[in-house]
Amino acid sequence: MSEYKVHIINTGKVRIEPELAFGGDHCSTPKAASFSIKKSPKISLPVNVFLLETLDKLILLDTGWDRSMSPNGVFDKKTQIKSLGSSLLYHVNQGVVPKGMTASEQVDKLGIKSSDIDYVVISHLDCDHADGLRQFKDAMVARSEYEYAKKHLYIRFKKKWWDGMDLNLYDWNDNQGPFGRSYDLLGDKSIELINIQGHTAE
């Protein structure tokens, strides 16, 4: 039996401007929100989260969309804006999560309660990764990512996504990976959270 088991969980789709995914440093807010003169057809990408099972731990990477994005399992502009708390974020990220496909709904199908997950790790605070935080009891994110996201309140995150729960901040405490920044999650070097820069500044 393998020491680790990884479940790849698809929690719906996000529809975005190609510039947002592939524009790199040249992607501005107007371009990402389709407000620029030059436009391309939007593309749909899967919104995946990952559940890692070890011999004694359950670790979820990212949370995907919250059910409030698509109460009836179909695209719904009005409820999406309410869920995200921002009409600008709606223009940047148009999402849908079919019935039964939120992270918590699918974890439940695996026979695991959301409250039984030991660690919920958020890679970064974009809405398609963090909108579903309310499905879980608490979560953690790198302090540097949190501080970066706070500087971009209109296009990065909304604190309402985790109202009533703890968002724990961690500092990089090891030097693994291409940028020499990682976090030893369990304190025994068995699981390292590797900092990979590019999608956000941190």
**DSSP alpha helices (H): ranges in the chain?**
18-22, 29-32, 77-84, 87-92, 103-109, 127-130, 143-150
Which structural domains are found in the chain, ordered by start?
A: 5-194 (3.60.15.10)
**pLDDT in the model for residue 178:** 93
Measured CA to CA in angstroms, residue 142 lies from 125, 127, 147, 173 at distances of 10, 16, 9, 11
Pairing of strands 43-53, 58-61: antiparallel
Pick the closest to residue 182 from 146, 174, 170 (CA basis). Answer: 174
pLDDT tens for residues 19-60? 776 665 555 565 555 555 455 688 899 999 999 999 999 999
| Per-chain mean pLDDT for the chain | 87
**pLDDT in the model for residue 39:** 58
Strands (E), the chain: 5-16, 43-53, 58-61, 94-96, 119-121, 138-142, 166-170, 182-184, 192-194
| Cα distance between residue 14 and residue 47, in whole Å | 6
**pLDDT in the model for residue 140:** 96
Read off the pLDDT band of 1 (50, 70, 90). very low
**Residue, of 18 and 67, whose pLDDT is higher:** 67
Percentage above 90 pLDDT, the chain:
59
* Lowest-confidence region among 14-18, 99-103, 168-172, 185-189: 14-18
For residues 196 and 178, the answer to whether their CB atoms sit within 8 Å is yes
Region 87-98: mean pLDDT is 88
pLDDT tens for residues 155-195? 677 888 888 788 899 999 999 999 999 999 999 999 999 99
